[in-house]
Amino acid sequence: MSEANKKRILIAISGGIAAYKTAELVRKLKKDDFEVRVCMSRAACEFITPLTMQALSGNPVHTDLLDPTAEAGMGHIELARWADMIMIAPASANIMAKLAHGIADDLTTTLCLASEAPLHLAPAMNRIMWQNPATRANAELLAERGITLHGPASGEQACGESGAGRMLEAAELADIIRRQFATNNRNNNNDDDDDDENDSDDDKVLSNPLENKQVLITAGPTREAIDPVRFISNRSSGKMGYALAEAARDLGAHVTLISGPVALEAPQGVTVLAVESAQEMHQKALQQAQSADIFIATAAVSDYAPKQQATQKIKKQAQEITLELTQNPDILSDVSRQYPSLFTVGFAAETEKLIKHAEDKLKRKKLDMIVANPVGDNQGFDQDTNQVEIIWDQGQLSLPEQAKSALAKEIMQIVSQRFANHPILV
């Protein structure tokens, strides 16, 4: 590829143990024919030497805001303009805090403020630092502003602890960067309009991946009839699913909501399909999924239904009666199996071992993302607030307790970002 056509990645390294992985990332990007420049914080230089990064990137490494060698002495502006994409890897808790608050006290933070290039972060830190409410709030703020966070992953950490905080592996980050440009190229190639319009369309796709997408959501409980007047159901109110439908609509998506029986008003601009039983929901979901881009299953579907439904009201006679139950179809599994290219998001409402059960469900049902929330003990079902853990194959994010409407907006932002990185776009 000619030098002029090469994509230009600015890799910024902040101070964390995971900096050693970034050497491998730069090597991989060079191998893939990207033009790579590296800037490093003062702390980063304690973890890996600029000389190593210079040798791997083939370019001098930038460490100082005040750079007399830069043309016009403004190295930060030159780098900010040069980059097609900025990836901060590892992103320390410190740099996340600085970016969230617009602090520009070193080269990386200043050039990030001065750049229009898409900004991506690969956070890496001790799990308690990652869980700290300050870091959580900074991560959410950055995500809301369209900055993309990748990871961190869960696992054993350099500090000897285990949990969410590991930086994604170099191969995973290289793959994310490749896909980012593949998405741009695809959008360019598919558009016959002139270049100026092309550019603005690209921005739109990257900044709002849900625009005009078909989002299918299930919500509420199901009712499994025992006889014409009685049923088995659960405490789901549908509030979370309805709030997600509104949040997806507000992001420009066309939303279809398959709803079990709830006491909520249909959100404006959302197509609501009312169902009662798990069987009906299953049938509607498979039918609607054909034209969907994203499927979000928030409904609390009854796992079991009475094996037989009495045609007449069951009379009170015997002291004890036995109700035989049979398993309902698994809507989420069936949809994700039948439509493997669909971006699928599951919800896991658990009374115990929240993360473990959610991770199992993510893998077992081959989902792209799972939102886990604790239920029971006045949590989750039929409440106006909720707290959730969002888990995907390479990362995890906790969203603290808040109103379901606010939570839905945050969840949809994350769905939207993960969807944009979904392989189907490549």
Ligand X SMILES: Cc1cc2nc3c(=O)[nH]c(=O)nc-3n(C[C@H](O)[C@H](O)[C@H](O)COP(=O)(O)O)c2cc1C
- Nearest approach, Cβ of 175 to ligand X (angstroms)? 22
**What's 167's DSSP letter?**
P
CB closer to ligand X out of 14 and 413: 14
- Nearest approach, Cβ of 17 to ligand X (angstroms)? 5
Q: Annotated catalytic residue: which of 39, 45, 112, 159?
A: 159
- Nearest approach, Cβ of 107 to ligand X (angstroms)? 10
**Residue 305 contacts residue 279 (beta carbons within 8 Å):** yes
**What's 101's DSSP letter?**
T
Q: How far is CA 272 from CA 216, 217, 302, 406, in A?
A: 10, 10, 20, 21
CB closer to ligand X out of 65 and 273: 65
State the residues that interact with ligand X by CB under 6 A: 14-18, 41, 43-44, 92-95, 124-125, 129
In single-letter form, the type of residue at position 40 comes to M
**Residues paired with 99 in a beta bridge:** none
Opening angle at CA 293, ends 191 and 394, nearest 5: 100
CB closer to ligand X out of 17 and 113: 17
Query: Is 39 among the residues known to form the active site?
Result: no
- Nearest approach, Cβ of 83 to ligand X (angstroms)? 19
* Cα separation, 404 vs 37, whole angstroms: 42
- Nearest approach, Cβ of 155 to ligand X (angstroms)? 14
Encode 338-373: b = buried (16+ Cβ within 10 Å), e = exposed: eeeebbbbbbbbbeeebbebbbebbeebebbbbbbb
CB closer to ligand X out of 41 and 218: 41
Q: How far is CA 61 from CA 11, 84, 88, 108, in A?
A: 10, 17, 14, 12
- Position of tokens 């097609």? 84
CB closer to ligand X out of 51 and 159: 159
- Position of tokens 């603005």? 200
Residues marked active site are found at 159
